[in-house]
Amino acid sequence: MARSVRLRILALGHTATLGGAELALARLLDAVDPDRFEVRTLLFGDGPLAARLREGGHPVDVLALGDLAAAGRHAVGRTPLALVRNAARTLPFGVRLGRELRRLRPDVVYPNTLKAGLIGVPLARLLGLPVVWHLHDRISPDYLPPLMVRLIRFVARSAAAVVVNSDATAATLPGHPRLDVAPPGFGRDQVGPPPGTRVPPCPPVVGLLGRISPTKGQLVFVRAAARVLQRQPDVRFRIIGSAMFGAERYADEVHAEALRLGVGDAVEFTGFTPSPASALDDLTLCVHASPTPEPFGQVIVEAMIRGVPVVATAGGGATEIMRSAPGAELGWLVPPGDDEALATAISDALAHPDMALARAERAYASALERFPIERTADVVTGVWRRAARAR
Ligand code: GLC
């Protein structure tokens, strides 16, 4: 196909910190056919995502938004006054971004985060450019200030199309007329050997991988660890990840709780890992402990394709990923925010390695079939094409 008919996509991201949405974007762009789509990414700050994209051969520009890019989603729109003040502070940036959009005139503007869309969707509309907003967050009051929920839903309605990462996220945009579900996918390089070939560590290591945040439930994990240790004192626990987006206070709280419960020696904090796959390989069991419904939960799929058995909390995308026929479980699903139930599931999985292996084998096969990145790319590029055509 001739180069000239390639659709020109401008992806927007407000941060270059490697969170879930950013990793999902990097993997997506690796899978998009470069003969049909020319994707540029414009980030509102510099950082590891910019490097990761460039490594993959994807052009990146940085237009700095400053400290507003780092503000937590709760701080930005907690009160009407905060919202107005932040909108006003964003104005000069909006002017610069508008200039960039006018200069580049992409066929589709593609914001990949909440903040990128809140700024990018209205601007693109103003300039008459089709915009496809990819939402990785549940737009719901258990996750965002109510005012933000209303604002995001309103802005989302003016986008040519919205892509979400799960049915659970879709359900938080009730009545939205142009919604497609594209679960994030894994790249081939992420897949490990089949579960049966793994040698789990001894003594067992139970890990939670992800940024440290109240939405990821490290506190519940530490409390469950203390319960498991009463019964199985040789088990080791690992919290892999660092605090991002203003969650440092919560990280301190998690540390303090481990000490308070007297399990400081059994719970290791590794900090950020640049290689989640090998961190997962070192685990006997992977725990996902989000107390509020997870929008998707990429780490669950990552554990599945490394052959690591999973204990996850029900709700949101986690329930969708772990969905199975009765008797053919893909792991353990426990109620959210319940450290006792979590501890019971962890103990159960550790006490029955054959059962854990059988579940991990089913999970491996299921994830390989359902979540390859090519599927994600098919959906997203289809939406881009539709939006460009409707121009
Ligand atoms: C966000 C969500 C997470 C999801 C990821 C990719 O980080 O919190 O649940 O897996 O985006 O869509």
Query: Are 78 and 181 found together in one domain?
Result: yes
Which atom of ligand 1 sits closest to the CA of residue 299? Answer: 10
Note whether 114 and 20 are within 8 A (CB). Answer: no
Q: How far apart are the first and last CA of the chain?
A: 22
Q: Over the stretch 181-205, which tens digit does the pLDDT of each residue have?
A: 999 999 999 999 999 999 999 999 9
Q: How far is the CA of 22 from the centre of ligand 1 (A)?
A: 9
Structural domain includes residue 2: no
Average pLDDT (232-254) is 93
- Percent of the chain, pLDDT > 70? 96
pLDDT at 220 over 50: yes
Query: Are 376 and 308 found together in one domain?
Result: no
Structural domain includes residue 105: yes
Query: Are 358 and 221 found together in one domain?
Result: yes
Structural domain includes residue 138: yes
Q: How far is the CA of 19 from the centre of ligand 1 (A)?
A: 8
Q: Within a 10 A sphere around the Cβ of 236, how many other Cβ atoms?
A: 18
Token pair for residue 153? 């839903």
Q: How far is the CA of 328 from the centre of ligand 1 (A)?
A: 26
Query: Are 102 and 244 found together in one domain?
Result: no
Q: Which amino acid is at 349?
A: A
Report residue 296: phi and psi, to 5°: -130, -75
Token pair for residue 101? 């959009």
What is the predicted pLDDT for the residue at 266? 98
- CA 127/CA 133 separation, integer angstroms: 16
Structural domain includes residue 326: yes
Query: Are 146 and 257 found together in one domain?
Result: no
Query: Are 19 and 135 found together in one domain?
Result: yes
What is the predicted pLDDT for the residue at 79? 78
Structural domain includes residue 68: yes
Query: Are 344 and 358 found together in one domain?
Result: yes
Q: Over the stretch 366-380, which tens digit does the pLDDT of each residue have?
A: 999 999 999 999 999
Report residue 105: phi and psi, to 5°: 35, 65
Query: Are 75 and 217 found together in one domain?
Result: no
Q: How far is the CA of 232 from the centre of ligand 1 (A)?
A: 33
Average pLDDT (58-81) is 77
Average pLDDT (345-365) is 98
Which atom of ligand 1 sits closest to the CA of residue 19? Answer: 7
Token pair for residue 207? 């890990």
pLDDT at 69 over 80: no
| Domain count along the chain | 2
Nearest CA to ligand 1 atom 12: 136
Query: Are 205 and 344 found together in one domain?
Result: yes
Q: How far is the CA of 24 from the centre of ligand 1 (A)?
A: 8
Distance of CA 46 to the CA centre of its chain: 19
pLDDT at 67 over 80: no
Note whether 7 and 161 are within 8 A (CB). Answer: no
Residue range of the domain that includes 174? 7-185+372-390
- Burial category of 98 from C-beta neighbours within 10 Å (exposed 0-12, middle 13-18, buried 19 and up): middle
- Percent of the chain, pLDDT > 90? 87
Structural domain includes residue 232: yes
pLDDT at 3 over 50: no
Of 58-72, 228-242, 292-306, which gets the smallest average pLDDT?
Answer: 58-72
Question: pLDDT band for position 1 (50/70/90)?
Answer: very low
Helix axes 218-231, 248-260, angle to 10 degrees: 20
Q: How far is the CA of 296 from the centre of ligand 1 (A)?
A: 5
Domain at 290, CATH number: 3.40.50.2000
Which atom of ligand 1 sits closest to the CA of residue 294? Answer: 9
Between these two residues, 304 and 92, which has the higher pLDDT value? 304
Structural domain includes residue 229: yes
Query: Are 19 and 142 found together in one domain?
Result: yes
What is the predicted pLDDT for the residue at 91? 85
Residues with CB under 6 A from ligand 1: 19-21, 24, 136, 165, 184, 294-298, 317
Which atom of ligand 1 sits closest to the CA of residue 21? Answer: 11
What integer best gives the mean pLDDT of the chain? 94
Which atom of ligand 1 sits closest to the CA of residue 166? Answer: 12
- CA 165/CA 180 separation, integer angstroms: 9
Query: Are 377 and 355 found together in one domain?
Result: no
Structural domain includes residue 1: no
User: CA dist 264 to 171, 225, 242, 260, 280, Å?
Assistant: 40, 10, 17, 8, 21
Note whether 216 and 290 are within 8 A (CB). Answer: yes
pLDDT at 4 over 60: no
Query: Are 111 and 30 found together in one domain?
Result: yes
What is the predicted pLDDT for the residue at 73? 64
